[in-house]
């Protein structure tokens, strides 16, 4: 068994304030006895335009947000999984990445979001992430942690079961979906997609989410969740903003083995292609 914490906050265009919110989440996770803390996509900042997003991006070494968070991880010996922006190949776009900061405060793993959120929904969100973000080109193989093998995806990746299935096939025990879901799509799809990914991969799902109003244009759905490999929602942080909050749950390695043993999902790759 290993206790994990999922953290929920409302990032804005103030990196200093977002760092303060994340420091508070670290304190809460340590107090609860968690072995790792999972933070949302874009924890470092959410800007009000693509241009501002690009202007604000800093390399990991130069980001006051990341340097500060790494210091927290080192001091508390607490691994932190966190979504940030990093400069792209050229100055026209940024990378939307998630990092695993280990208990020594080192950035040990990095995944760059591969599916970008380009939507134009009538009476709903209109967002074109690919204007300001450069897509990644590979899946990060699941990595060893004190919680088992963790696999990283980001937000809109949740809608493409192939990436989760591929990560499961590569040995994932926990699949993470750090997110900033919109309210209408969150209401309609968030929980059902997360539970489906947990059930079909027979893996724990940890989904840290942004919540509430970031600026005059953007509001996020919240409902950060931890879900077990049977699809049971173990924690749900709800949709109200206010003080940043954590929820915790136990990762039960025996339950993971039991579910995979009792209901083997043997694929018929002689009938359809392997993912």
Site residues for ligand KGT per CB under 6 A: 41-42, 46, 53, 96, 117, 127, 129, 155-156, 159, 180-182, 185
Which of residues 130 and 170 has its CB atom nearest to ligand KGT in the complex? Answer: 130
227 token code pair: 């879900």
Strand ranges, E, within 102-177: 107-112, 118-120, 126-128, 143-145, 148-152, 174-176
Specify the residue, 38 or 102, whose C-beta has the smaller distance to ligand KGT: 38
**Non-local CB neighbours of 1 within 8 Å, separated by 6+ positions:** 250, 251, 252, 253
Q: Residue 258 catalytic? A: no
Contact 172, 139 (CB under 8 A): no
The residue annotated as part of the active site, out of 22, 28, 41, 95, is: 41
Q: How far is the CB of 52 from ligand KGT (least distance, A)?
A: 9
The CB-nearest residue to ligand KGT is 185
CB of residue 26 to ligand KGT, shortest distance in Å = 21
Rank residues 8 and 248 by Cβ distance to ligand KGT and give the closer one: 8
Residue 103 appears among annotated catalytic residues: no
CB of 239 to ligand KGT, least distance (A): 14
Q: Is 113 a catalytic residue?
A: yes
Give the span between the Cα atoms of 22 and 67, in whole angstroms: 12
CB-nearer residue toward ligand KGT: 155 or 227 = 155
The DSSP result for 150-166, as a single string, is EEE--GGGGG-HHHHHH
| Dihedral of alpha carbons 107, 198, 168, 34, sign | positive
- The one catalytic residue among 58, 95, 134, 155: 155
Closest distance to ligand KGT from the beta carbon of 9 (Å): 13
Select which of 58, 95, 113, 168 is catalytic.
113
Query: Are the C-beta atoms of 131 and 50 separated by less than 8 Å?
Result: yes
Enter the DSSP assignment of 230: T
Kindly list the catalytic residues: 41, 113, 155
């Amino acid at each position: 068994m290993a206790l994990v914490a999922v953290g929920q906050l409302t990032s804005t265009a103030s990196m200093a304030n977002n760092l303060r919110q994340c420091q508070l989440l670290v304190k809460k996770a340590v107090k609860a006895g968690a072995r790792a803390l999972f933070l949302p996509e874009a924890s470092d900042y959410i800007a009000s335009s693509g241009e501002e997003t690009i202007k604000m991006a800093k390399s990991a070494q130069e980001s006051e947000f990341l340097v500060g968070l790494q210091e927290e991880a080192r001091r508390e010996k607490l691994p932190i999984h966190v979504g940030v922006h990093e400069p792209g190949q050229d100055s026209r776009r940024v990378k939307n990445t998630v990092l695993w900061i280990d208990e020594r405060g080192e950035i040990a793993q990095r995944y760059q979001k591969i599916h970008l959120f380009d939507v134009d929904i009538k009476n709903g969100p209109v967002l074109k992430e690919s204007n300001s973000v450069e897509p990644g080109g590979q899946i990060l193989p699941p990595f060893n942690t004190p919680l088992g093998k963790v696999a990283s995806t980001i937000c809109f990746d949740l809608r493409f079961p192939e990436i989760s299935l591929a990560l499961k096939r590569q040995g994932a025990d926990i699949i993470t979906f750090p997110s900033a879901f919109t309210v209408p799509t969150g209401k309609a799809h968030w929980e059902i997609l997360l539970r489906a990914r947990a059930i079909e991969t027979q893996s724990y799902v940890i989904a840290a989410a942004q919540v509430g109003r970031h600026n005059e244009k953007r509001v996020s759905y919240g409902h950060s969740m931890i879900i077990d490999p049977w699809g049971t929602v173990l924690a749900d942080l709800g949709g109200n903003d206010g003080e940043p909050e954590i929820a915790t749950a136990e990762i039960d390695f025996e339950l993971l083995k039991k579910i995979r043993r009792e209901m083997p999902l043997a694929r018929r790759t002689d009938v359809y292609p392997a993912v």
